[in-house]
Amino acid sequence: MKTATTSLIGAAFVALAVLAVGAARAALDLRHTITGEVLNLDEALPDGRDTPGVKSFLETGRNPYTENPEILAKAEPLFLSACSGCHGHYGEGKIGPGLADNYWTYPKNATDQGLFETMFGGANGQMGPQVFNLTLDEMLVVMAWVRHLYNGPIEDAVWLTDEQKKTFKPYKPPH
């Protein structure tokens, strides 16, 4: 009897954990930038799905990696390999739009949720879905670098917290 009760309690905890992950995923209504279809996070690469950063983002819609020095150290090389061919080394834009100012081709990209949706699902032109190239966690890391490259008016940086806005310094490319 004790073993059966222990097994039931264990199964209940597993079910609650699964529900908690599902609830975190459902906290945001993630939509494709162009079609408006719901994005299926199950299509994401298996690694990097359940990191604390991803869990926090899926609960809040805010990227917890923004302006985190530890994350920025690994963000630049990832951005350079995944994004700079189209968006430039400093987000200045090439065949893809610039990412360092306050103009967004898709205005929703001013928010972390919007930028994530565009990266995950792709958009018009050459912007293919990154869901098959980057893990969910890597997308958040790249987003942190994109936000770090920002050199527009601070009042337009809606992704920064009030505390981050007090210390934010616009990016100056090394020359």
Q: What residues form the annotated binding site for heme c?
A: 83, 86-87
Distant-in-sequence, close-in-space partners of 136: CB < 8 Å, separation ≥ 6: 41, 44, 45, 48, 49, 51, 54, 120
Distance separating alpha carbons of residues 172 and 37, to the nearest angstrom: 37
Q: Which of 161, 158, 163, 62 is nearest to 110 (CA)?
A: 158
Half-sphere exposure of 25 (CA within 13 A, CB side): 15
Sequence ranges of the binding site: 83, 86-87
Q: Where are the alpha helices (DSSP H) in 27-153?
A: 52-60, 69-82, 84-87, 112-121, 136-148
